Amino acid sequence: MSERKFTVSDLIKRPHFNEAKVIAGVNGLNRLVKWVHILETNENQNLVDGNEIILTTGMFYNGELNTCLSFLNKLIWQNASALCIEIGANFSSIPVEMIELAEKHNFPLIIFTKKVKFVEITRDIHALIINSKARALKELETFHKKLSQLNLQSKSISTILQTFHQTISLNVIYYPIDSDPIFFPQINPSVQKECLEIFKMQIKKCSIDSTEQVQEIVDTENILLFQPVIAMGRHFAYVGILLAETEVDEFFPLSLDYTVTAIAQNLLRRLFTEERNFYEQNVLLNDILNNRIQGEEMLRTKLGLNPNGIRDFCFYCGVMELGFPGLYTNYDDLGSMQQSIVVMTRNMMKRHSFQTVILPLGNRVYFLVYQTQIDHKQLPPIQERIGVAIFQLRKAITNLLENQKIFIGISNPAHLLAHAYQGFQEAKQVIEIANITKSISDPFYENIGIFRILLNMKDERTIPSFINDYLGKVIHYDKEHGQQLLETLKVYLNNNSSKQKTAKELFIHRQTLYYRLEKLEELLGDLTNPERRICIELALRAYELNRMNFF
């Protein structure tokens, strides 16, 4: 790569410069040279584009020092690389003022002590530069083919970045929007920090539709050249290279653009694969929800699992409901809300080393969370991690929904996908209890207690009869007298018969509580009797589930 960049120092080593002598601006010999230009009159100085070696016999010099200094000063201002003067009829010697001006600006001033053929110098250097550019274009073509081959071989983004680094021999930085940056190779921590800050600022101020390359100064030694990676209208990352100011040429931007395009293609393929997998998994989840259970081996194959590794596989079934039915289902954009929750759920579970299959339906989101081939010695137990993950997920979604209620139900863990249908029934029962009792309860099915039995009792006569036998008198009394004995009874028993806690929770005076407890004992009998107390508490739970249909 260094062969395509030529400095003044490189070119004065060519044979035609054997009789040349640098008389000023030695510190500027590292200036880049892109072309050679013959200039004999100051009227044509506007033809100078920069980074050119200027050859002259000094025909413009008519003995006027100001004209000579003006000529040199303009070349310096136009960022010419060097001025080469042939000593002869026009210039017998170089004015001291001219040497001082060149030295002041570190601008190489070179003299030919013998006559040279400018046409041969230009032919030699132009051939050198053109051949170098041709080799560079060939290198770029080879690099482009290599990137295409890597994508055809489904290689990773890291492999693409490593190939880019090996090609340009410069520091490469990959800054994905939603994960950790990658450096090839590692760079100084302070420079690394500056680069990351530049990326963060660019994300804030730049439109995600912008595909332009940007140059930013990192410090006195480094420039960061970077370009965004955009696919399907989505801004995924930045790719940048660290280079010195003298290294900037047209080939690095081209190679950077090829790399960005290759990464975008890689991401597109990954997105397509993910969407296809999500679709197939959604079909699988829909079949499970409708109890269209296939063979265990087929179910596991559709999830990409080892058909025989049953004990290495554990899953939970979950259901999320956005608020109580009928209250929070009319969102302005339910589809957008669902998508946000799906992405949030998948990312949260991934953070805790779970994989997730998700299916949004109406105001509910169904998900199957599983893990495979996990080294349990290096991770907390699955029960602990799923508990933390669900707690954090509920908190995140509650913030997303601006504190509207969300109910989550989680089944017992299982190993066979053939049991997934039952798992979703368990999760839905947790949601059902939350809806009936109008409270956000523990999300896990294993913790819903006696409700597990009550919800699954199919006898329509037994439960109403049981409720009537143990609570009927209290229910009728409240209805006829407008009292709250039933609520008092529930709070009293929930507080382990603590009168102080009960009065505080109900916001009533202690004497009022005593009166209500006396009335309850009059209607129900001795509340301290263990067997009667168990029956009353069971009847209270049953009544919560059946209050809408009771009497």
The pLDDT of residue 259 is above 90 = yes
**Do residues 374 and 277 lie in contact, with contact meaning Cβ atoms separated by under 8 Å?**
no
Mean of pLDDT over the chain = 82
Give this prediction's pTM. Answer: 0.48
- pLDDT tens digits for range 154-189: 888 999 999 999 988 888 999 988 778 888 888 888
Least confident of 133-142, 194-203, 413-422, 445-454: 445-454
Q: What distances in angstroms separate CA 71 from CA 40, 101, 187, one per listed residue?
A: 10, 11, 44
**Do residues 426 and 412 lie in contact, with contact meaning Cβ atoms separated by under 8 Å?**
yes
At the fourth CATH level, which superfamily is domain 462-549? PucR C-terminal helix-turn-helix domain (1.10.10.2840)
Q: What distances in angstroms separate CA 104 from CA 45, 73, 79, 262, one per listed residue?
A: 21, 11, 14, 46
Is 3.40.50.1820 the CATH classification of the domain at 293-448?
A: no
Residue partners of 544: CB distance under 8 A and separation at least 6: 436, 437
The CATH class of the 154-270 domain is alpha beta
The pairs formed by 70-73 with CB atoms below 8 angstroms and a separation of 24 or more are 70/42, 71/42, 71/45, 72/98, 72/101, 72/102, 72/107, 72/109, 73/101
* Distance between CA atoms of residues 499 and 514, nearest Å: 8
**Do residues 84 and 39 lie in contact, with contact meaning Cβ atoms separated by under 8 Å?**
no
The pLDDT-based confidence of 331 (bands split at 50, 70, 90) is very low
Domain boundaries, the chain: 2-127, 154-270, 293-448, 462-549
**Do residues 108 and 53 lie in contact, with contact meaning Cβ atoms separated by under 8 Å?**
no
Between 73 and 325, the more confident residue is 73
At the fourth CATH level, which superfamily is domain 2-127? HprK N-terminal domain-like (3.40.1390.20)
* Distance between CA atoms of residues 305 and 269, nearest Å: 22
Residue 494 token pair: 């929930």
Residue 356, strand partner residues: 369
Coarse DSSP helix, strand, coil percentages of the chain, rounded to the nearest 5 percent: 55, 15, 30
The pLDDT of residue 39 is above 70 = yes
User: Which whole number is the average pLDDT over 348-360?
Assistant: 86
- Residue of 317, 320, 314 whose CA lies nearest to 285: 317
